[in-house]
A and B are shown apart, each in its own frame.
Chain A
Amino acid sequence: MVESTINATQAVVTLDVPIQGIVWGSIITVNMWAKSIGTGVVFLGAFLWFRHKKDDMPNLRWLMPVIAFLSLNVFLLFTLIDLHQPYRMIHIFTHPHWTSSITVGAWMASLFLGLITILMIIGAADAFPGLGGKKCKITSIARNNSAVYEKIMPFLVFLAIPVTTYTAIIMAQSSARELWQAPTEVMQMMWAALMAGSAALIFISGSWSKEARKDLALVLTFAVFFSFMMYMGEYFFSFKSSEAEAVLAYVHSGGAYSVEFWIGMTLGFIIPFFLGMSYMKSENTTLLRFAAILALVGLFLVKDVWLKIPQMLPLS
């Protein structure tokens, strides 16, 4: 009984302001998820071109930049709509603060999108000779400079690495949310890109060679496996921070987001892993596509949980 009179064990907040709640919500999850697809298809495209002949994947040259272009525009749109002052987004370019990873990331992502746009125009102009008609100057310039595509591609792959991982640096700079302060976040971003990129390309791989599609299945299987293992490590192993421990202890106890986390893990990681493995033997394309859909859904759910849970902790 005597312990109940000790201040340190019997301290109760009796008056305070409401906790701010979740400030970065699902809009930011969409942002990260779409960016994973946008950069992931570039990694996978380069990997496949390195491993196979271009004829094995006839539509990859124009569809890869199209997918990346659409995903990156979703990413930028959701970045914009999350701002409370969306028209001031321009300040990032007119008043940049270079210690901020938000600034550095915005500049890199914009450059990345610009290069992807060039690839998309060249790829589409080459794939569709009638595109734009004979008088269209843009497609004409694109066709005349078709070789630029291959020259840009190595630089684009190199740029895709920081564009993928800069969100982890934003999280590292978000020093109030200790759950995000893990070095594993950088690799999680890379695995997410490989997961999302391979899943997205599976949908356009119908006309590809079996070997190329097997490579996609292999990357998806590896990515979900290693990402799952890293999440489990972060989820169950001890953090060296009391705030991150408090957040995880709450989720472990079945608190809010526990169910969403495990649904995401099952849908996005465990099931796609087995489906990906089975594809190596059965070569069942339908199951592989199903695995790709589940991986994209599960990735969204898990990222959503990981983004929100540390924001529920009171900071003062």
Chain B
Amino acid sequence: MKLGFLVDLNLCMGCKGCEIACKVENEVPLSTWRLRVKYIDLGTFPDTRRSFTPLRCNHCENAPCERICPVSALHYLENGIVNIDSARCIGCAGCMMACPYGAIYMDPETNTADKCTYCAHRIESGMMPACVVACPVEANIFGDIEDDHSHISLYIMEHKGAVQVRKPEKHTSPTHFYVGGGNATLNPLAHQRIEGFSLFNNITHLEHVGDKNHGILDRFLAPFAGHHGPTDNASLIESAIDAESHEQEGGH
């Protein structure tokens, strides 16, 4: 069995239901995302349209993150999922440097790397990933790509010439496919990023507000700090009330 994902961008309407479902299901902390939907405006007025591209871990068969992880915190499951063991992660961020898709983040609560796991815990119980269930237009298609009769395999065969992966030149062999995508939507260098989301400018970052383990010294003191232990979303919200977003480089 090899699990794979396909998103039909012709169907996606950018409702972000999948994004929210993922956040809730996996308790993804504020300022981090396992799955996000990017909006891109194409053309010039009045001849314009907006495209929506859900982005998540590609669960590559030749995963650079798995290869660079020094402690095997990132590892393959038998069904092809690239899973992460946060109890083993040392937080070196090597995987963040290796993932060509920017799909891995440093969890501000646990100070360990995290990413989409195709909801491995749900799959183990025979359920679909949360984002698949939440999608109102069934743009997210998930299943066994080694089974010729699975929905995803039939979908791939039906749209043979139009199925794409992100950055095929990286030879990572992603098991995450797109139908209806184009260069402008799947290639990050093919679109402009204006203020706030610009290619290189000092974009507005959310500081990891309230993260008691943010500072270097705090990382060492965290196990002894008692009440200064890992934060949760509630404390992050509380801290965020007083915090202002600011322009700075550096994200962790």
Contact = CB atoms under 8 A, between A and B. Distances in A.
Contact of A22 (B71, B89, B100, B251): B251
A267 B70 CA distance: 36
Contacts of B136: none
A84 interface: yes
A199 B181 CA distance: 54
Contact of A315 (B33, B99, B250): B99
Contact of B69 (A13, A17, A100, A242): A100
Given A18-B205, A23-B96, A88 B250 contact: no
Contacts, number: 214
Interface string B227-252: 00000000000000000000011111
A125 B14 CA distance: 71
A25 B250 contact: yes
Contacts of B220: 81, 86-87
A21 interface: yes
Which size class do B's interface residues fall under? 35 or more
B89 to A, nearest CB: 7
A89 B50 CA distance: 46
Contacts of A256: 200, 202, 249
A250 B199 contact: yes
A6 B183 CA distance: 12
B125 interface: no
B41 interface: yes
Given A11-B41, A85-B90, A102-B94, A176 B102 contact: yes
B1 to A, nearest CB: 24
Nearest to A310: B97
Interface string B142-175: 0000000000000000000000001000101000
A7 interface: yes
A126 interface: no
Contacts of A85: 89-91, 111-112, 219
B43 A5 contact: yes
Given A22-B251, A84-B213, A100-B68, 18 more contacts: A7-B184, A10-B44, A12-B41, A12-B192, A13-B38, A15-B37, A15-B197, A18-B206, A20-B105, A24-B93, A83-B92, A85-B111, A89-B90, A92-B90, A103-B70, A175-B98, A250-B199, A316-B188
Interface of B: 33, 36-44, 47, 50, 55, 64, 67-72, 88-94, 96-103, 105-106, 111-112, 166, 170, 172, 182-185, 188-194, 197, 199-200, 202-206, 213, 216, 219-220, 223, 248-252
